Each structure stands twice: as structure tokens, then as C-alpha cells.
Chains A and B, each alone.
Chain A
Amino acid sequence: MSDKRNLFNKVWDLHTVQDLPGGQTQLFIGLHLIHEVTSPQAFEILRDRKLKVAFPERTIATVDHIVPTANQARPFLDDLAEQMMSAIEKNCKDFGVTLLDLKDDRQGIVHVVGPEQGLTQPGMTIVCGDSHTSTHGAFGSIAIGIGTSNVAEVLATQTMFLNRPKVRRVVVNGELRPGVYAKDVILFIIQKLGVQGGVGHAYEFAGSTFDAMSMEERMTVCNMSIEGGARCGYINPDQKTVDYLKGRPFSPQGADFDRAAAWWLSLASGPDAEFDDVVTFNAADIEPTVTWGITPAQSVGVSQPLPKVSEVAAEEQRLIKEALEFMGLQEGQPISGTKIDVAFIGSCTNSRMSDLREAARVVKGHHVSPTVKAIVVPGSQLVRKQAMAEGLHLIFEAAGFEWREAGCSMCLAMNPDKLKGREVCASSSNRNFKGRQGSPTGRTLLMSPAMVAAAAIKGHVTDIREFPAAV
């Protein structure tokens, strides 16, 4: 008899240590990724309670949020950042956890590093004190963001309590139109299902559109599950997943790899798999998409006008007015042509090789508008090295972009990279919340890296499909 369980439920069942009477599950965690921002207080809890890290070999640390991307000389100019860096160094040393620090060329944004090193594998439960942990679901794992108390729990026990979510299958079928990227697909899904549509759910992304995507594109999609309210999003493992993982440093080696690959592929939701609900979209309906507001669901296709307040549901009107006022935009206006001051290519959403190659292809032979400050921040030191081997940095620099060291940079501005005043930023990151990019009044327009590149050249939001030779 075929297994009617979807991948999520198969993996959940496998990791269930015990079910509690109240409905919670004590779940075993296969991989715990930690970074400098949400771990120091967790290690203090362990010290206070005289506890050890239960499975130190299943915990890996790196540094990303506070890392300066220009001047990385120690001590950092920011005393607080230096203090956090020293704390994670000491904590990892004291508790026997491997730290990929700035001196280690494997360092980078935690959600870029995990897959790159082969730490992220299908069938695992993966947690990190960071909401974009959903990224790792691209490999067919249960990957969720957790708070600092949970970080302490996982360090000390390799488990945590969770309620089993429902599983919604989000199907997209068909070929993406020219100029439409994985980023546009997830922005479109969030626009349709809302920023809280996924609360209480894991999203299984399925259909021919995701089947056709590379692993990096799948990571972009799963990364933003949380922006749709789903703590976890995943894609079933297939041959691409297996091929991606073969030969990576932390991947199984030799005969272990073949056994692993067979097991990974067996986890995929089968044709009879059951879901709590299913929603279906057509790839052909998706345009290059840009956010205009202060939540990731406030977006439009680049050729579309902003909504009119009177045309949206009454309970949404207040939020739309608040967003329009904050962004300095008018209802019903086109998003195309909106002037930008800063262009940012980077973040755990879009800082991998395929993102940089695509952006470089767009900017090649052009120059950044004189009024725009543009930066490219690779997601990891290895991405940076590979991009330089391909000469991408030369293309970006010739076009007037700054080429930086790996880190989270301007996605959340816990480091020197931030907006000033009311600057408008075309950004390949994941959040357009008020003040997200470091200036309380700064404004963010989320879009694909190719669209950011085109906006940087033109000085305003531009339809990539109309950009010379870009499609």
C-alpha cells in the first residue's frame, strides 16, 4: 500500500521523540545552525543551569548579521558588534561547537552556508534562531525559525516542543515567462495568499514550475515562506537535490551517499499523498513583481498600477493608507518609474551564484545612474570567490557597483550598511517593513536581483522585459 503521508508528515513522524497529551510533539532536531545575534543569551542559559551542548557535532555556527562588508579589521569599529563577535567565539570554544568565522572561507550568511557545505539535507529537521531558516526546506527538510529560548533548548537537548502544523500544497504549473524569476513566484504567492495566510501551516511547493527550478531558485522560494506566515516551506527532493549535494564537504560520502540518496528520494510526497488543502496558480499569470508597501504582500506586477484604497476590502484600507503614506506613493499610480536612491543585491534570499550571474548579465556594458548608490554583497565567501573567478566583480565594478565581503548587509542593517533618511532602496532582500533597512523612515522595494540591477542603471523601477538586451 502506498504511503499517503506527505513529505512533511513522514519527516515529522521520524523525528517524534514523544507526543504529549496537550497535543505537542517533542521533536528531534537533526541540524542546529547558530549565529551571533540570537545565540549569546541561549549560551548564558546553559551556563546558568550548568548544562552542556547535547550533540555538539550537530550544531554549526557562523557569523553574518553584524559582519561589516567593507572594513572587517578586528576589533570592529562598532564596540557592540565586537562584543557579539567575541561572545560567539568564546561560546563556541567553551561548548565545543564548530564556528565558521571570518578567517574561515566557509563563512557567510547562515542560510547560504548550510546548503553550500552540504549540511542541509533532505529528511532532516533543521532549526536556527532566524526566521529565514525556511530556506533549507528547498531540500525537502522541515526547516523552521526559532526564538532564543528554543535555541537554548535545542543546544541542551537537541529537541524542542512543537505543534504539528497543517500542510498546504501550493501548486504552480507551467513555464515562467521571460524576465520572471523565482523571487517573482514567491512574491506573487504571498500577494495572493497574504502575509498571514500560512500561519499554522507548512507550505509544500509543488508543480512543474518548481520542478524546473534549480536548487538555488528553490531556496529563494522557500526562504520567503515565512513572509507568507508559513514557518516552514519545502520542495520534494528529486535528482537535482541529489546532484547538488554530491561531493559537498558535509554530504555523506561513498556508499553512504548512495544509501542516503535512495532514502532522500523515498521521502517525496507520492501521488496519493494527502494535504490539508491545495491552492493552484499558473506560472503564465506571474509578472516581474515589485513591492510598493510595508508588508511583503503589498506588491504588484511591474506593469500594473498600485491599488486604489476604495477598491480593497474595508478591513485592508487602513493598512493600505498607512503604507501609501509611509512610502510617499499615490494610490493607482504605476510602480514603474518610481525613483530609487540605493540598489542592494544580496541577502539570504538572493545572494547566490545564479543571482549574481543574472544581475551581472543585466548591468554589463551599462553604468549605475549617477544618483544611485549600488552594492553587491555575496552570500558567502565561497560565492564571492567563485564570482571573482568568473570575473563578475569586474563587471559590477565597471558598472559602478561596490563589491563587498559576505554578510547580511543591508537586508536588516545590523551592520554599517544602512539606508539614510527617507532613501528608497531597490532590494533583492525579503522584507520591506518600516525601518527594516536601518533608517526608521527608509523605504524598501523588493524585487528580483535582475530587476534591482535594471533599476540601478535607470535610477528608477524598470520593467526588466523592456531593459535593453536583458531578457
Chain B
Amino acid sequence: MNEIQSVKSTAIPLLLDDIDTDRIIPARFLRCVTFDGLGEHAFEDDRKQDANHPFDKPQFQGAGILVAGRNFGCGSSREHAPQSLMRWGIKAIIAESFAEIFFGNCGSLGIPAVKAARADLDKLAAAIEANPKLEVAVDLQALTVSAAGVTFSVIMPGSARDALVTGQWDYLGRLLSAADQVAEHAKKVPYMSGFSA
């Protein structure tokens, strides 16, 4: 897997709270056996009901960094949600906080998801609105976000960050390498051994 140490791109502000994964990708688009084609349906129902939805604004097309609010990605465990954002073009997400399953799914897909203070996010969103061409840099080494000469710190759990930075986010490969240890461990689990372990 490639090392992901930073993401630099223009950004799209969506500074709303408790955005659930049903809103990110409505359930009817989960009727599929591959993740192909989910990108165009990101936020589809919200976009239909809001003529000013950022995902439809010409100035934010091509943005690679999503700026979001509190508890982003709550609700359903559907990996289709970060898959649809990734296929829309999102390469990193900066939010006040994330729901846990969504955060884990982002890590599986190599999408850095970093937390920032609301005041910093408010300023960043305003700066992006004022200048949609603004380049935003998420630096996973320094754990900072920089834009227009302003830098603020962000938070990401060490294990998730290290995996991206060192290119070790192929979790499946890492788990497989411990197969013998797993087989040994299984013998010690009571319900794997007639409850006599």
C-alpha cells in the first residue's frame, strides 16, 4: 500500500452536524454487488432537496478534502458511504468528530479522517467559501491543516495515522501474517473447546 503522509487539494465545506450515512449514500444505492458507480450518488437526496448543496456547486467540483461537522458518518455501518465519497473525489476528511464505524471504514480505504476544533473548522470553511481555489494541506506527519498561511492542529489516533503514514493500511495482509498465532489462540477460547479450556 502507498504511504499517505499528506493530502493537498482544494476543499468542499459541509459544516453540518450528525450527518448520517443514509444521507451520504441512501440505502437504495446499496442494491449492488460492487462499489462501482457510487460516486455520483453521494448525498443524492440532500442535493435534490437543496439547490445550494455544496456537492452541486461548480466552484467545489474537483475538491479533494471534505470539511465536516460533529459526529460525521453516524448511523449505518455501510462502507458504501466512504466509498461513495472517495469515488466522488474525496481524499481526506477534516471534521469536528466522526462516528466510529465510519472512521474505521475510512482507514480501510486509505482516507485520512482528522478531527479539528470547531472554531478552526468555521474559519477554514469561511476561507474556502471566500476562495474555492484555496489549496488546503492535511499533514499527517505534523498533524496539522494549513491553508492561506494559517495552520491549526488536528487529532488522529496514533494507530490509524501510523498505518497511513507508513503505508501499512493493508490490514488484511497484516492480520494474515499472524495466522498461526490465531490458530493457537483459538484453542484457548472456552467455546472453541467444549468449555473446558
Interface residues of A (CB under 8 A from B): 14-15, 17-18, 20, 22-24, 26, 28, 30, 37-38, 40-41, 44-45, 49, 51, 54-55, 65-66, 78, 80-81, 83-84, 87, 121, 123-124, 129-131, 133, 145-150, 152-153, 156-161, 163, 195-196, 199-200, 226-227, 229, 231, 252, 256, 259-260, 263, 295, 315, 318-319, 322, 412-414, 431, 433-436, 438, 440-441
Task: Say whether A153 contacts B175, CB under 8 Å.
Answer: yes
Name A160's contact: one of B101, B159, B175 (CB within 8 Å).
B175
Is B74 an interface residue when CB atoms closer than 8 A count as contact? yes
* Nearest B residue to A295, CB-CB: B18
Given contacts A26-B175, A28-B185, A319-B17, A41 and B34 within 8 Å (CB-CB): yes
Identity of the chain A residue whose Cβ is nearest the Cβ of B28 in the assembled complex? A414
Stretch from B3-11, B44-52, B136-144 forming part of the interface with A: B44-52
How far, in Å, is A28 (CB) from chain B's closest CB?
Answer: 6
Contact status of A413 and B28, CB under 8 A, knowing A28-B185, A153-B175: yes
Residues in A with CB closer than 8 Å to B190 are 14, 123, 260, 263
Known: A433-B75, A440-B48. A412 touches B17 (CB 8 A): no
Alpha-carbon distance A318/B75, docked complex (angstroms): 20
Q: How far is the CA of A318 from the CA of B28 in the complex (A)?
A: 28
Pick from B77, B174, B195: contact of A145, CB under 8 Å = B77
A-B contact pairs, 26 of them (CB 8 A): A22-B162, A30-B191, A30-B192, A38-B78, A66-B31, A78-B31, A80-B32, A84-B31, A84-B32, A131-B77, A131-B101, A149-B105, A149-B172, A159-B175, A161-B159, A161-B174, A195-B74, A199-B99, A199-B100, A256-B194, A256-B195, A260-B190, A263-B190, A315-B118, A414-B31, A436-B27
* Chain B 14-28 near chain A by CB (<8 Å), digits 1 or 0: 001110101100111
Measured CA separation A441–B31 after assembly (Å): 20
In the complex, what residues of B have CB within 8 A of residue A78's CB? 31
> How close is B24's CB to chain A, nearest CB, in angstroms?
10
Q: Residues of B contacting A434 with CB < 8 Å?
A: 20, 22-23, 45-46
- For the complex, would chain B's binding face be called helix, strand, loop or mixed by DSSP majority? helix
Q: Which of B86-94, B125-133, B145-153, B176-184 sits within the interface?
A: B176-184
| B54: chain A residues within 8 A (beta carbon) | none
CB < 8 Å neighbour of A15 from B78, B108, B189: B189
In the complex, whether B157 has a CB less than 8 A from a CB of chain A is: yes
- Other A-B pairs, 8, CB within 8 Å; known A131-B76, A147-B101, A252-B195: A14-B189, A41-B79, A78-B31, A156-B176, A226-B75, A259-B196, A263-B190, A434-B46
Docked CA distance A354–B182 (Å): 40
A47 CB → nearest B CB, Å:
12
User: Chain B contacts of A49 at CB under 8 A?
Assistant: 172
Nearest Cβ in chain A — how far from B80, in angstroms?
Answer: 8
Chain B residues, CB < 8 A from A148: 79-80, 105
Contact B189 A156 (CB under 8 A): no
Chain A residues with CB below 8 A from B157, complex form: 23, 163
Residues of B within 8 A of A54 (CB): 179, 182
Contact of A229 among B99, B105, B171, B196 (CB under 8 A): B99
Instruction: Output the least CB separation between B70 and chain A (Å).
Output: 7
Enumerate chain A residues within 8 angstroms of B23, measured Cβ to Cβ. 433-435
Q: How far is the CA of A22 from the CA of B28 in the complex (A)?
A: 38
* Distance A149 CA – B174 CA, assembled complex (angstroms): 13
- The CA of A295 and the CA of B192, in the complex, are separated in Å by 40
Is there an interface contact between A260 and B178, defined as CB atoms closer than 8 Å?
Answer: no
B191 interface neighbour in A45, A123, A200, Cβ under 8 Å: A123
Q: What residues on A are CB-neighbors of B109 within 8 Å? A: 149
Cross-chain contact A195 with B185 (CB below 8 angstroms) = no
Report Cα–Cα, A259/B31, bound state, in Å. 44
Tell me the complex Cα distance, A84–B109, Å: 23
Name the distance in Å between A200's Cβ and chain B's nearest Cβ.
7
**B84 at interface, CB cutoff 8 A:** no
Most buried by A among B71, B105, B192, B195: B195
Distance, CA A130 to CA B21, complexed state (A): 12
Q: B169 CB to closest chain A CB, in angstroms?
A: 10
